[in-house]
Amino acid sequence: MSLSIRNLKKSYVEPGGRRLPILNVDSFDIADAEQVVLIGSSGGGKTTLLNVIAGVTTADSGQVVIDGTDVTKLPEAGRDRFRALRIGYVFQTFNLLPAFTALENVLLGMSFGGRKADRPHARELLKRVGLEHRLDHRPAKLSVGEQQRVAVARALANRPSLLLADEPTANVDTANQENVLKLIREACTENGVSLMMVTHSQDVASQFDRIETLSDFNKPEAAE
Amino acid sequence: MNLLAIAFKSLKQRALSSSLTALSVALGIMLVVSVLVVNSVVDNTFNQKSVGVSLLIGPRGSDLGNVLSAVYRIGKPAENLPWRVLTEDLPNAAKRIGGVKDASDIIDWAIPMTMGDVTQEGSFPVLGTTPKYFKMEYASGKKFQKKGELPVNSFDAIIGSQVARENGWDISSQFSLIHGGADGHVHDEKFTVVGLLAPTGTANDRTVFVNIEGFFLISGHEKPPEDAISRLREFGYEVTPEQEAVIREAAGGHDHHDHAGHDHGAHAPHPIPDDLKEVSFILVRTKSSTASIMLAGELNEGMRAQAVNPIIVISRLMKLFVGNTRKLLLFLTALIVVVAGIGIFVSIYNSMSDRKREIAIMRALGASRVTVFSIILGESLLLCLGGGILGLLMGHGLVVVAAPLIESQAGIMVNPWSFDVMELVLFPILIGMATLVGFLPGLTAYRTDVADSLND
Ligand SMILES: Nc1ncnc2c1ncn2[C@@H]1O[C@H](COP(=O)(O)OP(=O)(O)OP(=O)(O)O)[C@@H](O)[C@H]1O
Ligand SMILES: [Mg+2]
């Protein structure tokens, strides 16, 4: 599984009507099973980039090719389906649906791709993140660190080929931060999943072989 | 997890608001169901099928009054008719129809009824009739079932089920009658219950039946001979001197009758001449409906009585009065359901602003716009249908509780499990309502911008 981005442009239209360019990436690639950490200043467009890759935001132009499929060419429903089947996404906070237990949240991760829900797999994933005793707890009854671990388990539930993680450890204490991070990296390694993870933590970033700074390959000012 | 399961979990998350809105639907549906049940009961009671009679002959005046009095035992007959209506006018009218040689060619039976008195206890109407009355079908295909005997002797009575229950009467109970005339005195004669009728769900349940011959023997029911003769002439009958003599002689003997020393039940005391007898109504069953129309035409021509088809009168009553009341009731209860639907709308719609992020998460997990729309619609469907089913059960439950009350108050038998087909129509309506109610919140979900909502 690989990701390659070409000539990607994304801008927001400000309330005044002025275009505000956020992304302008000539070329960016992640190889199969590669783990990349993305750092950069706040407001630089990291989340926007992940959203474009995940297909929840549309780019203005350019290509985002995942495993040979240019997701920017897909219609919205096609992107939804692609995301359901191939991409895992972990956000900074509030990842979980409050109405559902930990196990159900993980099952939700496989509910929208049209595949059969694989309960043993969901249990196995939760066991892997050390939550086998918390299966039937609702998010409100879980600590923030536990919630993030459930979110990681859920992001892996559909056996994705690309895992996007947007500051998954930002709200977690140091001990748990290590825990969650280790989990993400191990799961990706074991399953050959490519990982793109955003972080603000130098500690976290330093553990990765490949560290990318957004401003190094993103030149929005050159987009005018 | 399928979409309905997801919708259900979301509802459970808002358990209080969900159960309250579902309950409001349930209450609305409960009322609709009870109106429908009561409706079908009223329908069956006043319905054409309840009357095994093709013509009702009674005093001129209000045909509706005649039907209410004769069939439903509501109110008293305006006046009585001479016996000759039964023995002369009816067969003569039949014979005037072309091609009819004998009255029995077109008439199955004609049953006389006298009414006016009520029981002293419970004020149940007392109806004097012949045993033939109990052989007819009181509703289509339904015959009277009884315990004990028919009233063949003069002071015998068979009583309807409600009379038995409310007055606590059984076979061999004795009772007195209150005279139906202006004075309302209690008759001296004591009647004895010899039979009990099984419940019929008709006015017969609250009627006391006595032998018509016995009815005439009650003191005060005979007319003074002068009255009888002048009344016959009023009705346009010829009264020959010989007939006059018979009337005077019989009346004279009867006048000095001393009840105290007699055992009325053991033997029929004096044969009463027909011209001293009167009849309140005559129930006629013709062999065909055309015969009944023609016979009614002949009877109404020039006679001081009138013949009506009770079915026509009843359906007119149903249309005019009961029908509109029913429509109004149904409309009002439907309005309650609509209000409940608006409640569901408000509940779901209000929750939407808090759920933007949840929807965005589902979208990020790969749920399409249509999927999140369907989940919201599913919530509204579950609330409407769940409330609907609960309401259906509650409605029938209400009728179960109310049935004995209705029966004792209105004399109408209610089968709480009688299922109105309209209840099946409720479900497509509820589904339609759920769709309508869930549409706008669903659209909000459909339009939720994932990236924006994730960043919030
Ligand atoms: N829907 C939007 N409309 C207009 N501007 C937006 C929208 N979403 C994001 N932006 C702007 O785009 C820029 C990039 O935002 P983004 O969230 O991608 O930054 P980021 O690198 O993830 O920042 P942080 O590290 O703080 O999370 C910001 O200036 C932000 O205000
Ligand atoms: Mg961000």
Q: What is the ipTM of this complex?
A: 0.92
Q: B131 and B261: one domain?
A: yes
d(Cα B117, Cα B123) in Å, to the nearest integer?
A: 9
Model pLDDT for residues B259-270, shown as the tens digit of each residue: 444 444 444 456
Q: Is A79's Cβ below 8 Å from some Cβ in B?
A: no
Residue A126 dihedral angles phi and psi, to the nearest 5°: -65, -35
d(Cα B349, Cα B340) in Å, to the nearest integer?
A: 14
pLDDT tier for residue B312 given thresholds of 50, 70 and 90: confident
Q: B351 and B421: one domain?
A: yes
Q: B330 and B300: one domain?
A: no
Q: Is B10's Cβ below 8 Å from some Cβ in A?
A: yes
A99 chain-B contacts, CB cut-off 8 A: 9-10, 12-13, 358
Both structure tokens of A180: 């969650």
Say if residues B278 and B255 touch (Cβ distance below 8 Å): no
Q: Is A96's Cβ below 8 Å from some Cβ in B?
A: yes
Neighbours of A56 (CB within 10 A): 24
Average pLDDT over chain A, rounded to an integer: 91
Q: Is A74's Cβ below 8 Å from some Cβ in B?
A: no
- Residue of A56, A185, A145 lying closest to B365 (CA atoms): A56
Is B368 close to A80, i.e. CB distance below 8 A? yes
- The number of residues making up chain A comes to 224
Q: Of B270, B289, B308, which closes a domain?
A: B308
Ramachandran category for residue B18: left, alpha or beta (phi over 0 → left; psi -120 to 50 → alpha): alpha
| Beta pairing, strands A19-30 & A3-13 | antiparallel
Q: B296 and B330: one domain?
A: no
Long-range residue pairs from B233-242, CB within 8 A, at least 24 positions apart, any chain = B234/B304, B235/B81, B235/B82, B235/B84, B235/B85, B235/B304, B236/B302, B236/B304, B237/B82, B237/B84, B237/B88, B239/B275
To which H or E segment does residue B308 belong? strand B305-308
Question: Which of the listed residues A9, A11, A22 should we mutate to test ligand 1's pocket, taking the one with most ligand atoms within 8 A of CB?
Answer: A22
Residues spanned by the domain of B344 = 3-45+316-455
Predicted confidence (pLDDT) at residue A224 exceeds the cutoff of 70: no
Both structure tokens of B90: 């009816």
- pLDDT of B182 reads 60
CA B133 to mean position of chain CA atoms: 19
Say if residues B431 and B385 touch (Cβ distance below 8 Å): yes
Q: B250 and B105: one domain?
A: yes
Q: B84 and B11: one domain?
A: no
| Beta pairing, strands A210-213 & A35-39 | parallel
d(Cα A115, Cα A107) in Å, to the nearest integer?
A: 11
Q: Of B263, B292, B308, which closes a domain?
A: B308
- The number of distinct structural domains making up chain B is 2
Average pLDDT over chain B, rounded to an integer: 84
Predicted confidence (pLDDT) at residue A1 exceeds the cutoff of 80: no
- Residue of B279, B280, B216, B214 lying closest to B68 (CA atoms): B280
d(Cα B90, Cα B59) in Å, to the nearest integer?
A: 14
Q: B151 and B282: one domain?
A: yes
CA A46 to ligand 1: nearest atom: 21
Q: B40 and B133: one domain?
A: no
Say if residues B49 and B139 touch (Cβ distance below 8 Å): yes
Find the residues whose C-beta lies inside 6 A of ligand 1.
Answer: A 12, 22, 40, 42-48; B 452, 455
Model pLDDT for residues A105-157, shown as the tens digit of each residue: 999 988 888 888 899 999 999 998 889 999 999 999 998 888 988 999 999 99
In degrees, to the nearest 5, what angle opens at C-alpha B401 toward C-alphas B400 and B407?
A: 80
CA–CA distances in Å: residue B190 to residues A5, B47, B267: 109, 36, 15
Both structure tokens of B449: 């911008």
Q: Which residues pair with B191 in a beta bridge?
A: B175
Distance from CA of A179 to the nearest CA of B (A): 23
Say if residues B340 and B25 touch (Cβ distance below 8 Å): yes
The closest CB to that of B365, out of A57, A94, A109, belongs to A109
Q: Whose CA is nearest to atom 13 of ligand 1?
A: A43
- pLDDT of B451 reads 84
d(Cα B362, Cα A111) in Å, to the nearest integer?
A: 10
Distance from CA of B12 to the nearest CA of A (A): 7
Q: B171 and B295: one domain?
A: yes
Model pLDDT for residues B153-162, shown as the tens digit of each residue: 888 999 999 8
pLDDT tier for residue B456 given thresholds of 50, 70 and 90: low
Q: Of B284, B308, B332, which closes a domain?
A: B308
- 3-class DSSP state for residue B436? helix
Distance from CA of B163 to the nearest CA of A (A): 60
Q: B129 and B171: one domain?
A: yes
d(Cα A95, Cα B216) in Å, to the nearest integer?
A: 92
Q: One-letter amino acid identity for B154?
A: S
| Dist. CA B450 → ligand 1 center (Å) | 13
Q: Which domains does chain A have, with CATH numbers?
A: 34-60+72-217 (3.40.50.300)
Q: Supply the pTM of this predicted model.
A: 0.71
CA torsion, ordered A115, A118, A121, A123, to nearest 10 deg: 140
DSSP state of B248: H
pLDDT tier for residue B229 given thresholds of 50, 70 and 90: confident
Q: Whose CA is nearest to atom 24 of ligand 1?
A: A42
To which H or E segment does residue A26 belong? strand A19-30
CA B451 to ligand 1: nearest atom: 1
Q: B144 and B171: one domain?
A: yes
**Alpha helix segments (H runs only) across B158-235:** 161-167, 212-217, 225-234
Q: B101 and B194: one domain?
A: yes
B454 chain-A contacts, CB cut-off 8 A: 51, 56, 91
Q: Whose CA is nearest to atom 29 of ligand 1?
A: A43
pLDDT tier for residue A180 given thresholds of 50, 70 and 90: confident
